[in-house]
C-alpha cells in the first residue's frame, strides 16, 4: 500500500517537475533567442568583413586609378576569384566599378544596407554595403552580394549550447528523483512495509520470528522496540502455557500427593481400630505415621492457599512486633522434636533476641517449609543446622544441610512455582513444587529476601534476610 502511494506521488512529482522545466525551457528559449540572433548577426558581419576585406583594400589602393582599364580588369578578376558580386559607387550613386559603356546610377535608398539585419533579408544572398573611406573621408560605398552558403551558420550549435544545460538539468533532476525514490524505498518505505507486516504477524499471535533492524536509525529503534514487544508477548504466552501446564500437573500431583498420605492415614487408623495391634511401641509408631502424614497434608494445603491468594493478589501479611528468640524457639523446638527420629536438627544457641515486625504464622510456615525441604532432600540420620544472626540493619536466619544438594543449572529455577528438580524424581521425593515458591512469596512480602548456596552432592544453605526497623 505504502509502495503504491509512493509510486503515484513520485509519478506526480516527476510530471510536475517536467512541466515546470519545460515552461522554464520555453521562456529561456524566447529570452535567449533575441540574444542568439544578435550574436548570429554579429558573427555573420564579421565573416563577411573578413571575406570582403582584401577586395576593399584593393579598391582603396587603386581608387584614384579606378577608371583605368587595367585596374578595372584586375578588380574584375579579383571579384571573380572570391565568388561574390561587388559594386563601387560614389556618393551620388553613380557606379564606378564595374565600369560600363554607359554611365549607370543606382538608387542608394534601395541598394545600401549597412546593417547585417537588412542585409540578410534576402533568401539566398547577403546584400551589404560598406562606406568607402579615402583620406579620412567617405568617397562612396562598396556594395557586396554574397551567397549565403559562403557564411558559416552556427545557429543550431548555439541553440544546443543554450538548451543543453537545461536538458542536462532536467535529466539530472529526473535522475535525482529516481535516486531519492530508491533511497526512500530502501531506507524508509520498505522497512516500514516490513514493520507493518511484522506487526500484523504479531497481532495474529506469531511471535517466533525475530524482527530485523534495518532502515534509518529511528526505524531501527522502532524495530528494536517492536521486537521487544514480540519477545515480551512470546514470554507471556510461554508463561501462560507453562502456568496452564503446571496447573494441570499440579492437579495430577496434588491428587497423587494427597492420595498417598491420606491412604497411609486411613490404613493406620484401620489397623488401630481393629485392635489387632497390642504392642505399645507399634501403636506409638502408627500414631507418629498418622501425625506425619497429616502434617504433610496440612503443609500442602497451606502452600496451595498461598498460591491461590498470590494469584488473586490477596496475600495478606498481618504484622506484629515479636522478639526473635521466643519466636524461633517456639517454631524450631517442635520441629526439632518432630524430625528427631529421621535427622538431627542442631539449633546454634544463643539465638539473637531482637524485635521483629512480622506475621508470625506466615513466617512459621516459611521456616517449616525450609526445614521440611532440608529433611526430604537429605539422607536418613543427616544433620541439619539452624543459626541466626543480626547486623545493624538486618536479621539473618541460616538453614544448612549436608544432603543431596542442587545441580548448578537448576539453582535459578528452584523458587519458580511448580518447579521440581531432577533429584526429586531420582530420589522419589514427594512434593507439589510450591514449598520454596511460597517461602519466597512470604519473605518478599516482608520486604526481605532469600538466597541459596548449593552444589550437587554437597548440601544446601538457605539464608533468610529480614529488615530491622
Largest CA distance in the chain: 181
What are the tens digits of pLDDT across the range 440-460? Answer: 988 999 999 999 999 888 899
Fold classification of 317-467 (topology level): Heat Shock Protein 90 (3.30.565)
Q: What is the pLDDT of residue 462?
A: 95
Q: Are 353 and 323 in contact (CB under 8 A)?
A: yes
SS3 content of the chain, % helix, strand, coil (to 5): 60, 15, 25
Q: What is the pLDDT of residue 466?
A: 95
What are the tens digits of pLDDT across the range 115-162? Answer: 655 555 566 777 888 888 888 888 888 888 888 777 755 555 555 665
CB under 8 A, 24+ apart: contacts of 144-150: 144/48, 144/52, 144/84, 144/85, 144/86, 145/84, 145/85, 145/86, 146/48, 146/51, 146/52, 146/84, 146/85, 147/83, 147/84, 148/123, 148/124, 150/51, 150/83, 150/84
Q: Which of 165-169, 205-209, 395-399 has the highest mean pLDDT?
A: 395-399
CA pair distance 299, 434, nearest whole angstrom: 10
Mean pLDDT of the chain: 77
Q: Rounded to an integer, what is the distance from CA 337 to the centroid of its chain?
A: 64
pLDDT of 182 > 80? The answer is no
Length reported for the chain? 469
What are the tens digits of pLDDT across the range 382-410? Answer: 899 999 999 989 999 999 999 889 888 88
**Is the bond into 350 cis (omega within 30 degrees of 0)?**
yes
Higher pLDDT among residues 19 and 189, named by residue? 19
Q: Which CATH class is domain 208-315?
A: mainly alpha
**Of 31-45, 206-220, 374-388, 445-459, where does mean pLDDT reach its minimum?**
31-45
Q: What is the pLDDT of residue 306?
A: 61
Q: What is the pLDDT of residue 274?
A: 74
CA pair distance 142, 134, nearest whole angstrom: 12
Q: Are 66 and 161 in contact (CB under 8 A)?
A: no
Strands 344-347 and 383-390: parallel
Higher pLDDT among residues 337 and 208, named by residue? 337
Secondary structure (DSSP) of 367-422 = HHHHHHHHHHTS-TT-EEEEEEEE-SSEEEEEEEE-SS---GGGGGGTTSTT---H
CA pair distance 38, 63, nearest whole angstrom: 34
Instruction: Find the mean pLDDT for residues 367-385.
Output: 88
Q: What is the pLDDT of residue 447?
A: 93
**Residues contacting 359, CB < 8 A, separation 6+:** 317, 318, 319, 320, 442, 446
C-alpha cell at 23: 515552461
In terms of Cα–Cα distance, which of 413, 382, 112 is closest to 246? Answer: 413
- pTM (two decimals): 0.44
Confidence band for 312, pLDDT divided at 50, 70 and 90: very low
pLDDT of 349 > 90? The answer is no
Higher pLDDT among residues 433 and 348, named by residue? 348
Residue 150 DSSP symbol: G
Instruction: Find the mean pLDDT for residues 44-65.
Output: 83
What are the tens digits of pLDDT across the range 322-334? Answer: 999 999 999 888 8
Instruction: Find the mean pLDDT for residues 55-74.
Output: 84
pLDDT of 296 > 70? The answer is no
Higher pLDDT among residues 434 and 261, named by residue? 434
Q: Which of 267-281, 290-304, 377-391 has the highest mean pLDDT?
A: 377-391
Every domain of the chain and the residues it spans: 2-160, 208-315, 317-467
CATH 3.30.450.20 fits 2-160, yes or no: yes
**Of 32-41, 178-187, 397-406, where does mean pLDDT reach its minimum?**
32-41
Higher pLDDT among residues 4 and 99, named by residue? 99
Q: Are 95 and 105 in contact (CB under 8 A)?
A: yes
Helices vs. strands in the chain: H and E counts, helices first: 12, 11
Amino acid at each position: 500500500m505504502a509502495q503504491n502511494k509512493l509510486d503515484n506521488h513520485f509519478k506526480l512529482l516527476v510530471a510536475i517537475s517536467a512541466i515546470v522545466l519545460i515552461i522554464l525551457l520555453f521562456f529561456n528559449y524566447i529570452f535567449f533567442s533575441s540574444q542568439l540572433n544578435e550574436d548570429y548577426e554579429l558573427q555573420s558581419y564579421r565573416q563577411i568583413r573578413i571575406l570582403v576585406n582584401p577586395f576593399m583594400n584593393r579598391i582603396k589602393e587603386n581608387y584614384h586609378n579606378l577608371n583605368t582599364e587595367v585596374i578595372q580588369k584586375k578588380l574584375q578578376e579579383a571579384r571573380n576569384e572570391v565568388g561574390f558580386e561587388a559594386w563601387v559607387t560614389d556618393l551620388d550613386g553613380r557606379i564606378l566599378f564595374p565600369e560600363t559603356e554607359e554611365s549607370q546610377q543606382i538608387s542608394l535608398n534601395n541598394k545600401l544596407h549597412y546593417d547585417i539585419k537588412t542585409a540578410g533579408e534576402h533568401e539566398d544572398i547577403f546584400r551589404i554595403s560598406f562606406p568607402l573611406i579615402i583620406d579620412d573621408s567617405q568617397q562612396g560605398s562598396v556594395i557586396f552580394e554574397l551567397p549565403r552558403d559562403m557564411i558559416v551558420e552556427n545557429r543550431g550549435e548555439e541553440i544546443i549550447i543554450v538548451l543543453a544545460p537545461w536538458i542536462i538539468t532536467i535529466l539530472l533532476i529526473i535522475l535525482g528523483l529516481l535516486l531519492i525514490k530508491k533511497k526512500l524505498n530502501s531506507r524508509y518505505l520498505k522497512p516500514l512495509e516490513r514493520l507493518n507486516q511484522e506487526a500484523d504477524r504479531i497481532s495474529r499471535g506469531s511471535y517466533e520470528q525475530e524482527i530485523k533492524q534495518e532502515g534509518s536509525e529511528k526505524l531501527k529503534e522502532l524495530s528494536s522496540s517492536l521486537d521487544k514487544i514480540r519477545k515480551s508477548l512470546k514470554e507471556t504466552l510461554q508463561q501462560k502455557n507453562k502456568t496452564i501446564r503446571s496447573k494441570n500437573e499440579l492437579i495430577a500431583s496434588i491428587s497423587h500427593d494427597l492420595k498417598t498420605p491420606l491412604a497411609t492415614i486411613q490404613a493406620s487408623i484401620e489397623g488401630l481400630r481393629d485392635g489387632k495391634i497390642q504392642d505399645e511401641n507399634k501403636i506409638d509408631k502408627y500414631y507418629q505415621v498418622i501425625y506425619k502424614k497429616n502434617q504433610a497434608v496440612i503443609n500442602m494445603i497451606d502452600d496451595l492457599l498461598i498460591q491461590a491468594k498470590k494469584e488473586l493478589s490477596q496475600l495478606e501479611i498481618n504484622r506484629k512486633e515479636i522478639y526473635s528468640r521466643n519466636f524461633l524457639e517456639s517454631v524450631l523446638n517442635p520441629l526439632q522434636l518432630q524430625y528427631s527420629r529421621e535427622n538431627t536438627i542442631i539449633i546454634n544457641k544463643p539465638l539473637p533476641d531482637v524485635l521483629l515486625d512480622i506475621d508470625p504464622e506466615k513466617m512459621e510456615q516459611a521456616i517449616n517449609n525450609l526445614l521440611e525441604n532440608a529433611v526430604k532432600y537429605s539422607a536418613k540420620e543427616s544433620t541439619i543446622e539452624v543459626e541466626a544472626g543480626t547486623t545493624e540493619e538486618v536479621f539473618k536466619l541460616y538453614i544448612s544441610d549436608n544432603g543431596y544438594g542442587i545441580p548448578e543449572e537448576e539453582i535459578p529455577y528452584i523458587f519458580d512455582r511448580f518447579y521440581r528438580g531432577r533429584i526429586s524424581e531420582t530420589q522419589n521425593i514427594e512434593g507439589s513444587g510450591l514449598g520454596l515458591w511460597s517461602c519466597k512469596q512470604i519473605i518478599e512480602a516482608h520486604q526481605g529476601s532469600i538466597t541459596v548456596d548449593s552444589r550437587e552432592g554437597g548440601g544446601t544453605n538457605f539464608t533468610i534476610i529480614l529488615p530491622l526497623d
